[in-house]
Amino acid sequence: MDPRYAHITDWIFDLDNCLYPASTGLFTLIDARMNAYIRRLLGVDEVEAHRVQKHHFHTHGTTLAGLMKEHGVDPHDFLGHVHDIPLDRIDRDERLATGLGRLPGRRFIFTNGDEPYARRILGRLGIDEHFHGMQDILASNLRPKPDLHGYELMLERFEIEPSRAVLVEDMAKNLKPAKQLGLTTIWVDNGSEQAHEAPPTDHVDERIDNVADWLHRILRQERTK
């Protein structure tokens, strides 16, 4: 094990655009479902629905949070609708599975999505058996990352010692609360976070572009390039 991570006992991973490549474009399908939901909810056209969606995302952290606060949307109805997408863009990832399986300690998922959707993704990747628990948006009381509330709930729920835990995440802004709490932070800089959205990264301990490659590197399964 890379000595920088020898003390880690709990490995926490974001899901979307983190454990699978952002290049799959899966979020374009989810975006389309969100747009359709907002069009139906508000009786607006596609352009206005897109504006509303992005406004809520940037203002409240997720589109769902804004729709709940400003329009009283049922979160279960929304999540069930937007995540009803085909997953044929995602393939089984044996390399990722091998790396996860060899990590010492526990592995967790921390996502702004809901658990049924996350389980479908993990199953498609072939890595569901490697995780010991999950903190989804419902377990975070519908307060999405980077709201500190969900991080604190997760640490308490799974009895995680922050100084011995790492968070791997493709949104750099979502690493700031983790760093504040004392976790080691890994930013998966794979293009999923637009440059104008990226905050300063002084709260990032390591910047990588592929989780599977990083796992194999720190586990010393292949020579560092």
CATH number of the domain to which 75 belongs? 1.10.150
What confidence category does residue 60 fall into, taking pLDDT thresholds of 50, 70 and 90? confident
Is the pLDDT at 62 greater than 90? The verdict is no
Are 170 and 198 in the same domain? yes
Are 203 and 120 in the same domain? yes
What integer best gives the mean pLDDT of the chain? 93
pLDDT of residue 59: 86
CB atoms within 10 A of CB 106: 16
Are 158 and 122 in the same domain? yes
Are 42 and 152 in the same domain? no
In a domain, 88, yes or no: no
The residue-averaged pLDDT of 151-180 equals 97
pLDDT of residue 224: 42
Are 117 and 193 in the same domain? yes
**Sign of the CA dihedral 136, 193, 121, 64?**
positive
Beta strands in 37-162 (DSSP E): 106-110, 133-135
Are 10 and 112 in the same domain? yes
Are 17 and 74 in the same domain? no
Q: Which range (162-166, 178-182, 183-187, 188-192) has the least confidence?
A: 188-192
**Which range of residues forms the domain containing residue 68?**
26-82
**Sign of the CA dihedral 146, 148, 65, 22?**
positive
H or E element that contains 26:
helix 26-42
Give the orientation angle of helix 26-42 with respect to helix 63-71, to 10 degrees: 10
In a domain, 117, yes or no: yes
H or E element that contains 63:
helix 63-71
pTM above 0.85, yes or no: yes
In a domain, 78, yes or no: yes
Are 107 and 68 in the same domain? no
Is the pLDDT at 199 greater than 70? The verdict is no
Domain count within the chain: 2
Q: Domain containing 120 — which CATH number?
A: 3.40.50.1000
- Tens of pLDDT along 83-119? 999 999 999 999 999 999 999 999 999 999 999 999 9
The residue-averaged pLDDT of 65-78 equals 94
What confidence category does residue 58 fall into, taking pLDDT thresholds of 50, 70 and 90? confident
Are 16 and 53 in the same domain? no
What confidence category does residue 223 fall into, taking pLDDT thresholds of 50, 70 and 90? very low
Are 176 and 211 in the same domain? yes
Are 107 and 174 in the same domain? yes
Are 117 and 137 in the same domain? yes
Distance of CA 141 to the CA centre of its chain: 16
